[in-house]
């Protein structure tokens, strides 16, 4: 067993178990739409939570005035302000600051966290200079991007369901995050109303929609993954409230938690899940997002190393460490075009402490990067097509063949953001190829998957404008 053939058989087994034929992908597309229907029908009806965002008024470009944005959801938070000048002036002026969250505040108390945020916001507001001014007689308003799962009851309120991404502030759970922020702002003497509470996906959608009304969906592919899209209010069966004037509402899918028995889960994925901080949760995310791809490759390398001496007779100790191999390492190795795979060799040495790897070993590593990335990107592509199908923009239903007033078929734009999508060209390529293959040439001609960078912060400010109390 401890020979090269066994390495190849482990590789081949992984390839077979993780491969996704076009017919399997089509089944996954359908599973996604089925789960979407179930999640829209009732609370808890699906692993897809399909959360109401209460965003029923996406920005159009007509917004005017001064708005603030606050973006919290990772290791940094951002404060920003925009002066909007309507269709003509658009974004007249914009400023932002990025502030790190001190790690002790991520595990402290709710009050400490929000006091800190409000202090930084107060400093930023003090520096408001020429060219920024609210409309006469109006107070400043703020949009708050808060990228943790929240149960919203209106556009400007929502209770925290759980922390993720290393935050653990137990007295925050169940509290209204807008109220917490508003109270902290009051203590700092910041006179501003929180007009909109959104997550980063919804912020990205709004940021892209401001410039292009064909944007119907946004996907985050970073540390984690999530998606949101514009749904017809009448299709949201579980929604009991008033039908919005626009007739639509943005749904935050929380698609990282999607699951179907059709998904190609291997023993490596099972181990990754059971050793994770949230076993049994975020199954789709664990096959797709930047936090996990590198660790899946590590797990296969570990098995190859243990069972067939891939890296010599001793298993390199680094291979036992969770998350030592990071997704940025994968993308660098995957893009190595040198004949001796020099970059792969360098990363194996620096990230894993494995020196002098022969070329055939480096080739195996690249092959694994390719398989793991291909699987993740294809699943994400199938997810996107599932959403397009649900809203009749996949070219398969009568609705999607409906022509716009100009007589041309409707365009649909999917706005993408996040470090994985932005910095991993092979991931992007597999994703787009999958969307194209699933839609077919004709329908794909009317769909565009586009990077929409850093929309989530400005998107929140734009949503504060489109949901302003002065409108
Ligand atoms: P977040 O998701 O935390 O808001 P980002 O959108 O910036 O932040 O995404 C960061 C994630 O993107 C990282 O955790 C990493 O997984 C992935 N990433 C960053 N750079 C690269 C890269 N060069 N290649 C592949 N993935 C990357
Ligand atoms: Mg982000």
The model's pLDDT over 433-458, given as tens digits with 9 standing for 90+, comes to 999 999 999 999 999 999 998 788 89
Q: Please pick, among 200, 269, 336, 417, the residue that the annotation labels catalytic.
A: 200
pLDDT at position 453: 87
Q: Please pick, among 147, 331, 456, 468, the residue that the annotation labels catalytic.
A: 147
Beta bridge partners of 198: 145
Ligand 2 centroid – CA 199 distance (Å): 10
Query: What is the tens place of the pLDDT at every residue in 419-438?
Result: 999 999 999 999 999 999 99
Looking at the domain that runs over 1-51+212-453, which CATH code has it been given? 3.40.367.20
Ligand 1 centroid – CA 224 distance (Å): 9
**The length of the chain, given as a count of residues:** 471
Q: Please tell me the distance from the alpha carbon of residue 56 to that of residue 257, in angstroms, as a whole number.
A: 24
pLDDT at position 31: 98
Q: Please tell me the distance from the alpha carbon of residue 3 to that of residue 119, in angstroms, as a whole number.
A: 61
Would you call 147 a catalytic residue per the annotation? yes
pLDDT at position 257: 95
For residue 291, which ligand has an atom nearest its CA? Answer: 1
Beta bridge partners of 229: 217, 251
Quick check: do 1-51+212-453 and 54-198 share a fold?
no
Domain range list for the chain: 1-51+212-453, 54-198
Q: Kindly state the DSSP code that residue 317 receives in the 8-state scheme.
A: G
Pairing, β 157-160 against β 150-154: antiparallel
Instruction: Tell me the ipTM for this assembly.
Output: 0.99
Query: By alpha-carbon position, which residue is closest to atom 16 of ligand 1?
Result: 290
Q: Please tell me the distance from the alpha carbon of residue 225 to that of residue 202, in angstroms, as a whole number.
A: 13
Nearest CA-CA partner of 384 in 450, 329, 331: 450
Contact 460, 65 (CB under 8 A): no
Tokens coding 375 = 């699987």
Ligand 2 centroid – CA 429 distance (Å): 21
Contact 292, 286 (CB under 8 A): yes
Contact 467, 57 (CB under 8 A): yes
Burial class from Cβ neighbours inside 10 Å (0-12, 13-18, 19+) for residue 171 reads: exposed
pLDDT at position 289: 96
* Ligand 1 neighbours (beta carbon < 6 A): 74, 222-223, 290-291, 327-328, 331, 418-420, 423-424
Would you call 200 a catalytic residue per the annotation? yes
Would you call 417 a catalytic residue per the annotation? no
Residues in the chain with pLDDT values less than 50: 400
Query: What is the tens place of the pLDDT at every residue in 6-40?
Result: 999 999 999 999 999 999 999 999 999 999 999 99
Pairing, β 225-232 against β 248-252: antiparallel
Q: Kindly state the DSSP code that residue 409 receives in the 8-state scheme.
A: B
For residue 424, which ligand has an atom nearest its CA? Answer: 1
Ligand 2 centroid – CA 131 distance (Å): 29
Q: Please pick, among 18, 53, 71, 78, the residue that the annotation labels catalytic.
A: 78
pLDDT at position 398: 53
Pairing, β 192-198 against β 215-221: unpaired
pLDDT at position 162: 84
Q: Please tell me the distance from the alpha carbon of residue 198 to that of residue 272, in angstroms, as a whole number.
A: 30
Residues 6+ apart with CB under 8 A from 337: none
Q: Name the class of domain 54-198.
A: alpha beta
Pairing, β 447-451 against β 412-417: parallel
The residue whose CB lies within 8 Å of the most ligand 1 atoms, and thus the one to mutate among 420, 425, 428, 430, is 420
The residue whose CB lies within 8 Å of the most ligand 1 atoms, and thus the one to mutate among 287, 290, 292, 347, is 290
The residue whose CB lies within 8 Å of the most ligand 1 atoms, and thus the one to mutate among 74, 204, 222, 323, is 222
* Cβ neighbours, 10 Å, residue 241: 13
3-state secondary structure of 282: coil
């Amino acid at each position: 067993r401890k020979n090269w053939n066994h390495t190849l058989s482990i590789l081949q087994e992984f390839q077979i178990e993780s491969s996704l034929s076009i017919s399997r992908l089509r089944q996954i597309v359908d599973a996604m739409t089925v789960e979407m229907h179930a999640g829209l029908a009732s609370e808890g009806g699906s692993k897809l939570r399909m959360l109401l965002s209460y965003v029923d008024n996406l920005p159009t470009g007509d917004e005017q005035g001064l708005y603030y944005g606050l973006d919290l959801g990772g290791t940094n938070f951002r404060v920003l302000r925009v002066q909007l000048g309507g269709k003509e002036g658009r974004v007249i002026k914009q400023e932002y600051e990025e502030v790190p969250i001190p790690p002790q505040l991520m595990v402290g108390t709710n009050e400490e966290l929000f006091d800190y945020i409000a202090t930084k916001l107060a400093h930023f507001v003090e520096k408001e200079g020429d060219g920024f001014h609210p409309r006469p007689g109006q107070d400043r308003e703020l949009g708050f991007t808060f990228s943790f799962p929240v149960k919203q009851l209106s556009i400007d309120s929502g209770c925290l369901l759980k922390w993720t991404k290393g935050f653990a502030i137990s007295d925050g759970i169940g509290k209204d995050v807008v109220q917490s922020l508003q109270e902290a702002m009051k203590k700092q003497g910041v006179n501003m109303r929180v007009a909109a509470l959104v997550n980063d996906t919804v912020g990205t959608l709004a940021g892209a929609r401001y410039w292009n009304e064909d944007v119907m969906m946004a996907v985050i592919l970073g540390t984690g993954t999530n998606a949101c899209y514009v749904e017809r209010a009448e299709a949201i069966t579980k929604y009991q409230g008033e039908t919005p004037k626009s007739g639509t509402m943005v749904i935050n899918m929380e698609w990282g938690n999607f699951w179907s028995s059709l998904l190609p889960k291997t023993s490596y994925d099972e181990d990754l899940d059971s050793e994770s901080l949230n076993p049994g949760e975020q199954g789709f995310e664990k096959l797709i997002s930047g936090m996990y791809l590198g660790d899946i490759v590590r797990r296969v390398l570990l098995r190859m190393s243990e069972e067939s001496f891939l890296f010599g007779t001793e298993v390199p100790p680094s291979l036992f460490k969770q998350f030592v191999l990071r997704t940025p390492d994968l993308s660098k190795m995957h893009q190595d075009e040198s004949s001796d795979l020099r970059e792969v060799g360098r990363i194996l040495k620096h990230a894993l402490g494995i020196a002098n790897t022969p070329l055939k070993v480096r080739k195996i590593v690249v092959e694994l990067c390719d398989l793991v990335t291909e699987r993740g990107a294809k699943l994400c592509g199938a997810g996107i097509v599932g959403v397009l199908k649900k809203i009749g923009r996949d070219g398969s239903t009568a609705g999607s063949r409906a022509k716009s007033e100009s007589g041309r078929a409707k365009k649909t734009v999917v706005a993408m953001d996040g470090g994985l999508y932005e910095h991993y060209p092979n991931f992007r390529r597999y994703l787009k190829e999958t969307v194209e293959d699933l839609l077919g040439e004709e329908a794909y001609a009317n769909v565009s998957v586009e990077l929409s960078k850093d929309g989530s912060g400005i998107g929140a400010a734009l949503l504060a404008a489109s949901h302003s109390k002065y409108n």
